[in-house]
Amino acid sequence: MRAAPVVLSPTWAVDKWRRLFESLFSILPRPLPLPPMKTTLALLFLTLPLAAAAVTPSPYAGQETRGIKALSAKEQADLLAGKGMGLAKAAELNGYPGPAHVLELAKELSLSAEQRAKTEALFQAMETRAKELGRQIVDAERGLDALFANKQVTAALLDEHLARIGALQAQLRAAHLATHLEQVRILTPGQVAHYQVLRGYAGAELAATSEPPRGGAHDHAHGHAHRH
């Protein structure tokens, strides 16, 4: 007797192919799950500053074209012109007027003819000295720059140039400060106090009430006695 034929149902074939595909996909690498949208945005904002910092130019950019890298054109001009450049702030802001501003305020301070003449002479001497020292500083900075530019710098040469520049800078500052020290001897205490008010320094109004700004030989002598 012949055996009955085997009849395969359609679902059997589907199940077979499904199991085959599952076995194939099980051996393939699975992709990593995507992070939530909020996490993605947070990471993006955190990395943006880092990317920007990587391309931010140096604050020195453009200065490589200077003739003297350590000095701007204005700084060179001020040194050669004998300008104050804030070197006498220790004196100016502690009650020791400078001759340039004293001459500017000559009328308000009621300078006598003698005081004006002495102040003018003091200013001229200071300016002459400052110009000469300023010229030497510019030359010394140019020499230091050339050592690096020409790749000739050594530790010994560096020490030598820095010592010279430092000494010149100290002399220049001393010239400005000494002038303020001498200027306060030319004025009376009242004029010094009024100078503080005119320059707008804090607390100067109270000091100015102790003595009015008067010029003249008699008042100037009184001022010296008061200080000494």
pTM, to two decimals: 0.68
- pLDDT tens by residue, 159-204: 999 999 999 999 999 999 999 999 999 999 999 999 999 999 977 6
Report the share of the chain in percent with pLDDT over 70: 65
CA–CA separation, 87 vs 85, rounded Å?
5
Which residues touch 186 (CB under 8 Å, ≥6 apart)? Answer: 115, 118, 119, 122, 220
- The alpha carbon of residue 43 and the mean position of all alpha carbons in its chain are separated, in whole angstroms, by 35
Domain spans, the chain: 74-187
- pLDDT tens by residue, 49-103: 655 556 788 999 999 999 999 999 999 999 999 999 999 999 999 999 999 999 9
Phi-psi region of 31 (alpha: psi -120 to 50; beta: other; left: phi over 0): beta
